[in-house]
Amino acid sequence: MAQRTKLLLLIPHLGGGGAEQVTAKLARDLDPNRFEIHLCLITSDGLGATDPPPWVTLHRFRLKRVRHAWLKLIRLIRAEQPHVVLSNMAHLNFLLLAIKPFLPRQTRILIRQNAPASAVAKTWLSRLAYRHLYPLADTILCQSQAMARDLEDAFAIPRHKLKVLVNPIDKLDIATPDTAIATNSRQISSAEADRTSAPSAYPPINDTPSNDPPTNAWPRILTVARLSPEKGIDLLLNALPEIRRRYPSVCLEVLGAGPEEASLRKLALALNLEDAVYFRGYIEHPSRHYPNATLFALSSRQEGMPNALLEAAAAGLPLVATPCSEGLSDLLRGAPGTWISATISANSLAETILCALATLPICLTSPRRFQHDFLTPFESKTAIAAYEALLANPTTQPAFRTAILIPTLDQIGGAERQVLMLAKELSARGHQVTVIALSGNGGSSSLELAVAGVDFVSLEMRKAWVDPRGWSRYLTWAIQAKPDLVHAHLPHATWFARCTRLVVPVRVLVDTIHTSNTGGRARKLAYRITSPLTNQVTCVSQSAASKAITARMASTPSLAILPNGIPLPGPHTSCPQNDAQPSPFVWIAVGRLSPVKDYPTLLRAFAALSDNPRLQIVGSGNDEQSLRNLAGELGIEDRVNFVGFQRDVQSLLSTSDAFVLSSLWEGLPVSALEAAAAGLPVVATDANGTREATVPGKTCFIVPVGDVPALSNSMMQIMAMPPHQRKTMGANGRTFVEEHFAISAVVNRWESLYSDLLTRHPHASRRG
């Protein structure tokens, strides 16, 4: 059995806020077969604290101040000799890093940052500590890319020391509204929560468990927060009168305790809200209040990545939040069932809540709930696995340090999906991988990468690849991180990687062409001029390679073909149909809504089909409205569903009967490969690259590009097949993909190419 990693978790105390909850969860959920877990508590426990499980060794100092623990910490760490120390809370982090010279050298020091440092560093002393002590840590864990950028920009923390790991959140098993109030929970008053505060001089406002809102109260706004100034509960109270003018029966439940209790109660009375605000005190299990809530409101002035909001999201509640955290805004922006106020103010918060309520049905028994897909990286199993991968005592160094460049990850297409899969697979094999986007913030993809142990950096360029600010950020990163290999995808990233090599030497530069569309003269000229600066050009298909050679964008000796890869899903199984009422045949098309995908041809072909099939179009883009208008003109708008961008395409493929691709051109169509891997028969146009992703007549019917009758006839032919023939065609497609395009096999080829190039180029160079 491999040696367990000895881990020491440090926290001032358990009970209370998000940092304490995360520490308690790590102590409870990290695999005890892999980790020998020690937990050190400096001061007395707070509200809601629970004892750690029996396999955790507990060390209690019982001191009044964290700063008094310096000598005890030195003695504890020198005595236990842990492989890793993980500290939480900034003031404890400062203390640990200050005593680092007295600690064993082999002990890795990791610290967690729980809020944007520039927002919480109020004094010159704390700013000094961030700037000079934080760089002493081996790794600094941040809850979002925005938090990492803040440390880098405000305090010059080296980017390679920053790691994004999200807080683990449990999927909540929420009670129904009928049983919610009967659920047991522990309620603690604000007076108990803050015994040092003077007793409130104001009468209690609706603060007993039995004093619940009237049954006809709507909307029911819920917030969970410590009653302290930074949580902005006063903003929510000041917003309530405006909401009440539109919805007279509105009620607000405030779950939390803290030093601002008395002033908040006074404010509620001054605003004549005594019959609309319910102060509940500290609630150990807020989930009992979720089922009846109309929406969850976060009114904070500053946050890191608030657990209270994430837990409410896990319950499916609609979410309204202030722009109190750049990372939170990045996470929520554009997600269904979420609204972000324009400013951190009562007026803006009121406007945003009213906007949200206007879209929600007035329903007292079953309020609307949302499937918040942005929570996927936060799910406990996934997030804990990411922590385990980071905390495990390393036995070998990463084989090589790789930087993968892409123009942006804010919009996901075939090339972007390949980058995500390649980065995650390389990281899983022990390589140190950083994905660098020229622009954008990465959205949920940055969290997906973080969970897989992949670093993400955005250069935040605003003027394509020539923005000098992006060059400066990249050069600073490259000098610190010293990548062995840089792999660029798509033209702008390729030109950027090639040109920056003139300034920062790189051992190996690889770039990939993803499409057979060679573009105009400027693109071809840019490839030709910069070609001496790369070591290897690759293409995703033979057709893309032929076009690149013809356009003199690459030469045959320096060109390699490495196809796109896909993960293999479970085999496709069709739902049994009722003979009396057969289900309609379901077609699916996947791709961005742009001219290259030629959806007008698809819609016209689909309109000619008999038997009233259905069509799901998965993707987003500028052409959506014109395509919807065309569907209306063809009289098929009730049978065509524009699904929009979906990260989880497999679930939609599993409920479809066949796949159709109408593109004008392709590099290597990943969507067709994914459909074949899911066991679906395919109809596709004879675009460049399509034939390499299919076996015509065996896995797919190929039709001429732009030929409406031919596309319609082939789709009708698929629909007329007996189910067992379609199943055979789908099985042939899956076998073909397994043999040639499984992601593990494709990454094997990339790994082999990388290793060969690094062997041939042992030293950094400014030229290819």
- Per DSSP, the residues of 171-212 read PP-PPPHHHHTTS---EE-HHHHTTTSPPPSS---S-STT-P
Question: Mean pLDDT score of the chain, rounded to an integer?
Answer: 85
- The percent of residues in the chain predicted with pLDDT above 70, rounded, is 90
The stretch 3-23 carries a mean pLDDT of: 85
Q: Give the C-alpha separation, 487 to 433, whole Å.
A: 11
Q: pLDDT per residue over 334-387, tens digit each?
A: 788 999 999 999 999 999 999 999 988 887 777 888 888 788 778 888 788 888
Q: What is the DSSP-derived secondary structure letter of residue 356?
A: H
Q: Which residue has the tokens 């909850």?
A: 21
Among residues 513, 546, 561, the one where a domain terminates is: 561
Taking the CB of residue 706, how many other CB atoms lie within 10 A of it? Answer: 14
Q: Give the C-alpha separation, 597 to 712, whole Å.
A: 16
Degrees to nearest 5, angle at CA 147 with 35 and 472: 115
The predicted structure's pLDDT at residue 41: 92
- For residue 402, pLDDT over 90 is answered with yes
The predicted structure's pLDDT at residue 193: 41
- For residue 426, pLDDT over 50 is answered with yes
Query: Which helix or strand (DSSP H or E) is residue 406 part of?
Result: strand 401-406
Q: In what order do the strands lie in the sheet with 162-164?
A: 57-60, 35-41, 5-11, 84-88, 108-112, 139-142, 162-164
Structure-token pair, residue 152: 């880098």
Q: Among 103-107, 208-212, 236-240, where is mean pLDDT lowest?
A: 208-212
Q: Are 507 and 759 in contact (CB under 8 A)?
A: no
Do residues 551 and 411 share a domain? yes
Do residues 273 and 307 share a domain? yes
Among residues 351, 368, 385, the one where a domain terminates is: 368
The predicted structure's pLDDT at residue 150: 87
Do residues 711 and 666 share a domain? yes
Of 445, 448, 452, 416, whose CA–CA distance to 431 is shortest?
452
Do residues 360 and 406 share a domain? no
Of 251, 255, 253, whose CA–CA distance to 218 is shortest?
251
Q: Among 267-271, 331-335, 569-573, 660-664, where is mean pLDDT lowest?
A: 569-573
Do residues 133 and 12 share a domain? yes
Q: Which residue has the tokens 């305790």?
A: 257
pLDDT band at residue 21, thresholds of 50, 70 and 90? confident
The predicted structure's pLDDT at residue 175: 38
The predicted structure's pLDDT at residue 114: 84
Do residues 15 and 96 share a domain? yes
The predicted structure's pLDDT at residue 38: 95
The predicted structure's pLDDT at residue 84: 94
In the chain, the number of structural domains is: 4
Q: Give the C-alpha separation, 621 to 667, whole Å.
A: 19
Beta strand 187-188 with 162-164 is unpaired
- For residue 399, pLDDT over 80 is answered with no
* Count, residues in the chain: 768
pLDDT band at residue 196, thresholds of 50, 70 and 90? very low
The predicted structure's pLDDT at residue 622: 87
Q: Is residue 580 part of a domain?
A: no
Of 322, 761, 695, whose CA–CA distance to 535 is shortest?
761
The domain spanning residue 506 has which CATH number? Answer: 3.40.50.2000
* Domain membership of residue 314 as a residue range: 184-368
Q: Give the C-alpha separation, 631 to 640, whole Å.
A: 7
Query: Which helix or strand (DSSP H or E) is residue 283 part of?
Result: strand 277-283
* Side-chain-side CA neighbours of residue 462 (13 Å): 1
Q: Are 606 and 636 in contact (CB under 8 A)?
A: yes
Do residues 318 and 227 share a domain? yes
Do residues 76 and 37 share a domain? yes
The predicted structure's pLDDT at residue 571: 52
Q: Is residue 638 part of a domain?
A: yes
Q: Is residue 353 part of a domain?
A: yes
| Higher-confidence position of 428 and 401 | 401
The predicted structure's pLDDT at residue 449: 85
The predicted structure's pLDDT at residue 582: 64
Ramachandran angles phi, psi of 280, nearest 5°: -100, -10
Q: Is residue 386 part of a domain?
A: no
- For residue 441, pLDDT over 60 is answered with yes
Do residues 551 and 623 share a domain? no
Query: Which helix or strand (DSSP H or E) is residue 28 part of?
Result: helix 18-29
Q: Give the C-alpha separation, 377 to 388, whole Å.
A: 15
Q: Is residue 276 part of a domain?
A: yes
SS3 readout for 576-603: CCCCCCCCCCEEEEECCCCHHHCHHHHH
Do residues 214 and 298 share a domain? yes
Beta strand 187-188 with 277-283 is antiparallel
Structure-token pair, residue 74: 């030195």
Degrees to nearest 5, angle at CA 295 with 291 and 296: 95
Q: Among 175-184, 512-521, 548-557, 627-636, where is mean pLDDT lowest?
A: 175-184
What ranges in 669-722 are assigned the alpha helix state H?
Answer: 670-677, 708-720
The predicted structure's pLDDT at residue 507: 92
Q: pLDDT per residue over 469-499, tens digit each?
A: 889 999 989 988 889 999 999 999 999 999 9
Do residues 188 and 322 share a domain? yes
Q: Give the C-alpha separation, 301 to 66, whole Å.
A: 26
- For residue 541, pLDDT over 80 is answered with yes
Do residues 206 and 119 share a domain? no
- For residue 397, pLDDT over 50 is answered with no
Cis peptide before 361 (omega within 30 of 0): no
- For residue 744, pLDDT over 90 is answered with no
Q: Is residue 765 part of a domain?
A: no
| Higher-confidence position of 47 and 178 | 47
The predicted structure's pLDDT at residue 386: 80
Q: Give the C-alpha separation, 359 to 480, whole Å.
A: 49
Q: Are 420 and 452 in contact (CB under 8 A)?
A: no
Torsion angle (degrees, nearest 10) of CA 713, 634, 596, 650: -70
Of 231, 339, 234, whose CA–CA distance to 295 is shortest?
339
The stretch 79-90 carries a mean pLDDT of: 92
Q: Is residue 39 part of a domain?
A: yes
* Side-chain-side CA neighbours of residue 58 (13 Å): 18
The predicted structure's pLDDT at residue 287: 82
- For residue 185, pLDDT over 50 is answered with no
Q: Is residue 390 part of a domain?
A: no
Cis peptide before 259 (omega within 30 of 0): no
> How buried is residue 289: exposed, middle or buried, by Cβ count under 10 Å (0-12/13-18/19+)?
buried
